Amino acid sequence: MTSLNSQTTFVPGRLEQMSTRIGFFIAGVGIAAWAPLVPYAKARAGLDEGTLGLLLLCLGVGSILAMPLAGILATRFGCRRVTTGGALLICAALPLLATVSSIPALIAALFMFGAGLGTVVDSTVNLQAARPCGG
């Protein structure tokens, strides 16, 4: 019979493992939520395929520009804060991507979405997975 008062043992690194998994999950859900919105954004803004392709490039540019900044910020403030900020960028960008219809607004929303993805997955979560950073 097991005791109800048994204490759980602390496993070093367990919290970091869980936070890494959650970071990858947030980014995956963000991409999965954006993918079905692409045709709607294209129709709402009246874009052709070439213009849509150029707009989607803004996502990559935002990600690439955010990566080095996220690494610097993670060194200064810790992975937790930077990952949280990136996750908030993703969460703020998705409703914009679902509703905006002008090209400048789509550029800004895609850049913000890419910056969030670059911060969360490409920088701080991978940094956390490689070597746990504080805070």
Number of domains, the chain: 1
**30 belongs to a structural domain:** yes
Per residue of the chain (135 residues), give pLDDT as tens: 555 665 666 566 777 788 888 888 999 999 999 999 999 999 999 999 999 999 999 999 999 999 999 989 988 998 889 989 999 999 999 999 999 999 999 999 999 999 999 998 878 888 877 776 665
Q: Name 76's Cβ contacts closer than 8 Å, sequence gap at least 6.
A: none
Report pLDDT for 21.
87
Report pLDDT for 130.
77
Domain span at residue 121 reads 14-130
**100 belongs to a structural domain:** yes
How far apart are alpha carbons 23 and 35 in whole angstroms? 19
**5 belongs to a structural domain:** no
**3 belongs to a structural domain:** no
Main-chain dihedrals φ then ψ at residue 34, nearest 5 degrees: -75, -40
Report pLDDT for 76.
93
Report pLDDT for 7.
64
**1 belongs to a structural domain:** no
**2 belongs to a structural domain:** no
pTM of the model: 0.84
Q: Report which DSSP code applies to 100.
A: -
- Rg (C-alpha) for the chain, rounded Å, is 18
Instruction: Tell me the three-class secondary structure of 5-38, residue by residue.
Output: CCCCCCCCCHHHHHHHHHHHHHHHHHHHHHHHHH
**22 belongs to a structural domain:** yes
For residue 122, the tally of other CB atoms under 10 A from its CB is: 19
